[in-house]
Amino acid sequence: MNSFSFSTRPLPTSFEGVFFVTLRLWDALPENFGQNLGIQYYTSQVKFALFPDGASKLHQARKRLFARFDQALDLEKYGHSYLREPELAHIVAAEIRRLDGVLYDLRAFSLMPNHVHLLIRLQDKALDASPLDDFECIQYQPLRDIVRKIQGATELPLKKALRRLLTVSTRFQKYTPKGSVKIEGKFWHERSFDFQLKDAVEFEKVSHYILQNPVRAELGKDSMD
């Protein structure tokens, strides 16, 4: 099951504070996957530090790494695909919509089986940059707060719904070595990944990408180029 929604609001007049953000389930990827991408991103920082157009090159490098990140998620080789279940997907979608106009202006979002894409424009323009050597760290404080609010508000309802589903269906179950049903300690991975959009062309590409991601995932093709 895939669910997505798109806002028909006009293009932003300014792209300051416009971000593409991805949240994922706790077990969607092995831990070393993000760590390896982080090393590659840090290498790109060092490589482009002395280039006159280094910021632009680093932005493109981050986008390429994100594409690999998202392709790995779409393969669904690790963990569970809980958001295929309509009841669980509805909980997440409702919270994303509830915060629209409160913490951000929602432009587009899609719910995939093991991750969520958001295209938002921050209402708070006080962007507090974090060190860029942590690939998976949200770059700006307002984004960190938004991700935590979405995850915090949905974590318990998702777990409760999942426990109900476990009583009537075996397809969500994971067993311990002793044979008992196990529910992971967390639903969401606390780290997310984002990048800031630069212009209208990039905005249109990302919007299209988010809305087509369910289709592309089925076909095994995922690109923002």
The pLDDT of residue 178: 53
Mean pLDDT of 106-124: 90
- What 8-state DSSP symbol labels residue 50? T
Strand 18-24 relative to strand 115-122, pairing: antiparallel
- Euclidean distance between CA atoms 173 and 182, whole angstroms: 7
The pLDDT of residue 225: 54
Measured from the Cβ of residue 106, the count of other Cβ atoms closer than 10 Å reads 19
Q: Which CATH architecture has domain 21-219?
A: 2-Layer Sandwich (3.30)
- Of 29-43, 96-110, 134-148, the poorest mean pLDDT is in 134-148
- Euclidean distance between CA atoms 207 and 186, whole angstroms: 29
- Tell me the whole-structure pTM to 2 decimals: 0.81
Would you state the structure tokens that stand for residue 109, as one six-digit string?
Answer: 């979002």
Q: Which of 159, 56, 151, 48 is nearest to 99 (CA)?
A: 151
- pLDDT of 175 > 70? The answer is no
Give Cα 178 distance to the centre of its chain: 34
- Euclidean distance between CA atoms 111 and 90, whole angstroms: 10
- What 8-state DSSP symbol labels residue 178? T
Give Cα 102 distance to the centre of its chain: 20
Domain ranges of the chain: 21-219
User: What are the pLDDT digits (tens) for 70-98?
Assistant: 999 999 998 889 999 999 999 999 999 99
Q: In sequence order, what are the beta bridge partners of 18?
A: 121
Q: Which of 222, 209, 201 is nearest to 117 (CA)?
A: 209
